[in-house]
Amino acid sequence: MTKKVSSINPYNEKVINVYNLDTPSKIKSKLELADEVFIKWKEKEIIERTTLLSKVSNLLEKRIDYLSELITLEMGKPINESIAEINKCIFLCNFYAVNAETFLADDIIETDANESFISYDPLGVILAIMPWNYPFWQVFRFAVPTLTSGNTVLLKHASNVSGCAIAIQEIFEDAGYPKGCFQILLTDHKVIGNLLKDDIIKAVSLTGSEKAGRHIAKIAGENLKKSVLELGGNNACIVLDDANLDAYLDIMVKSRMQNTGQSCIAAKRFIVTKGIYDEFIGKFTKKVKNLKFGNPIEKHTEIATMAREDLALKLEKQVNDAIAKGAKVIMGNKRDKAYFAPTILTKVTEDMTVFNEETFGPVAPIFKVNNLEEGLKLATNSKFGLGTMLFTENIEDARRVISKIPDGAFFINEMVKSDPRLPFGGTNASGFGRELSLEGIREFVNIKTVYINN
């Protein structure tokens, strides 16, 4: 009997579609095709690959209404955010279409040789394991630079966004990429673990949980495969006494509640100095209460259900742990199936799971500290290292603490976010390696030294 997987709308629980999982023989055929196509694809001139990128960009623009609606139906993101996600993918394609040739050009190095340089050669077939929360962006920010550097790609997407996975493959093929350059695998994670051991797979990129990252990193390490891991986050948002709440409060709310809080780079711990604490609580709570809940397909909706009921149940458990240990609920803490009401907690302490674990949903724990030094100590007390944000009018003081933030990103007066022009990634339990920018396109290449004497 053929195994199947269903795509279910989290808002109304209706089945959107049912997909047959790939058989072992089909997966083997896809693997062999990716390897076969790589031989010819790697020989293409970069200008040919960047021309195809421009075609992908055009297709995304033409299909934006359909694609954004597909995202919203499958994982519940408010439609305006889904549209923004597709637009970000367009920006990404255009960025690499312009810059990839420069990023991958040989670097001439003066040595004792008549000629010496560094070349950047593709590795081969790269496996990607991607999550559901940004079903297009997460895939594109990996696939675009990886394909453009001359590799071929196999994608295992989250099962609840299988429709998005299929649509992405169609875009690459319709743009003119050779069949086999980008293929999706409809299968489960047990199969993926074994697939990673195959000699055809040269490297793996995973965006997901810390647990998944450790599992994949172990298999990759045992088989000497390069890996890039973008894992969980527990980002701190430090708000100092001189912060301009009128200018930046909307950003702070968005940094926690965007995508119904389901983002690795969301602000998950608000650390507020005592001089502005009460004002912050009042204004932040008012803003969150005014968020419009509703059907995510409607344009006025700002926050919706979570992507699955099990995710809401886990979040509820984390909040209840905090309450049992003395946290105070300012608002929220109500759940109905996959819906979890935006929740604000105060009197939070470092022994609570909402401090130590990643809360993947619309929950904002708020801590009071005396000054920046205490705030930094609290912010850096985490096994994660994805990003930190700091809100203050004293930019010089903020600059002086950059080296004290061990994370992959430090944003001043802005929420942590990914941008094609800047490298993105974390440290410690948030993973390793970088996506995007120059660093991202060079993750899955052989950095080859060439030395020539006449």
* Residues noted as catalytic: 230
**Are the C-beta atoms of 191 and 27 separated by less than 8 Å?**
yes
**Are the C-beta atoms of 91 and 418 separated by less than 8 Å?**
no
370 class by beta-carbon count within 10 Å (0-12 exposed, 13-18 middle, 19+ buried): exposed
Cα Rg, the chain, nearest whole Å: 23
**What separation in angstroms does the CA of 386 have from each of 145, 189, 254, 265, 409?**
21, 25, 17, 7, 6
Q: Which helix (H) or strand (E) holds 128?
A: strand 125-130
Rounded CA-CA distance 61/409 in Å is: 30
Q: 43 phi and psi, to 5 degrees?
A: -85, -10
**What one-character DSSP code corresponds to residue 232?**
-
| CA angle 341–346–350, rounded 5-degree value | 110
- Closest Cα partner for 145 from 206, 97, 177, 184? 97
Rounded CA-CA distance 142/159 in Å is: 18
439 class by beta-carbon count within 10 Å (0-12 exposed, 13-18 middle, 19+ buried): middle
- Closest Cα partner for 141 from 444, 385, 445, 440? 440
**What separation in angstroms does the CA of 431 have from each of 28, 189, 206, 237, 434?**
29, 19, 9, 20, 9
Q: Where are the alpha helices (DSSP H) in 63-186?
A: 64-75, 79-103, 137-148, 162-174
Q: How many helices (H) and strands (E) does the chain have?
A: 15, 20
